[in-house]
Structure 1
Amino acid sequence: MTADDSLSRLDDDYPAHTMGRAAELLGTTPGFLRALGEARLITPLRSEGGHRRYSRYQLRIAARARELVDHGTPIEAACPIIILEDQLEEA
């Protein structure tokens, strides 16, 4: 594997971050990330051992959810807002 091959694996969809690292990067708790999964906002991939792994794209979505929740939006309302924002951006 060349260096270029290694770097190409680190795209936005590559599940590079463990739950603990993702929570640390976002300044939140693993429970918050689990809640986002239960709300079906993000679905982390699982390692062979069953551990959750998050991509950079998922971390951006989670960061937006945290921002809304920090400003008083209930998580149940934040998730549909983010989904609509994401769809609008893609359009």
Structure 2
Amino acid sequence: MPSARTRPVDNLDDDDYPAYTMGRAAEMLGTTPAFLRALGDHRLITPLRSEGGHRRFSRYQLRVAARARELVDQGTPIEAACRIVILEDQLEEARRINEELRARSRDSQSNTPASA
């Protein structure tokens, strides 16, 4: 029996599972495969490769690509759009970590007995 992590049903819930082919990803985003390759060239997304060497994209990567496309459609050069998306992602991660640290700090303060 496959482990819980490798069962196909689990992959449906995995944002990082490379489920989408280049053509399907481009179709879903309303863009071209060349645009997705350009995002890879600018290191915004790095698709995984199938055994046959074909690019495969995850849902997370498609969300990132969609944000970049939104910026490009607004007139932002692709290089700048990629940098903006990377910085937005870093900011979101920093905020998440900050909130976790604040929560831990509140928890540890509430578990410390008051000194007399």
TM-score by length of 2: 0.74
Q: Name the aligned partner's letter for residue 39 of structure 1.
A: H
* Unmatched runs of 5 consecutive residues or more in structure 1: none
- Aligned sequence identity (%): 81
Partners of 1:25 and 1:46 in 2: CA distance: 19
SS of residue matched to 1:83:
helix
Give the deviation of 1:90 after TM superposition.
1.2
SS of residue matched to 2:38:
helix
Give the deviation of 1:57 after TM superposition.
0.2
Q: Name the aligned partner's letter for residue 9 of structure 2.
A: L
Alignment partner of 1:31 is 2:47: no
SS of residue matched to 2:37:
helix
RMSD of Structure 2 on Structure 1 (CA) = 1.3
1:4-60 Cα deviation digits (max 9, x unpaired): 732211210000000000000000000000000000000000000000000000000
TM-score by length of 1: 0.93
SS of residue matched to 1:9:
helix
The structure with the largest alpha-carbon Rg is 2
* Unmatched runs of 5 consecutive residues or more in structure 2: 95-116
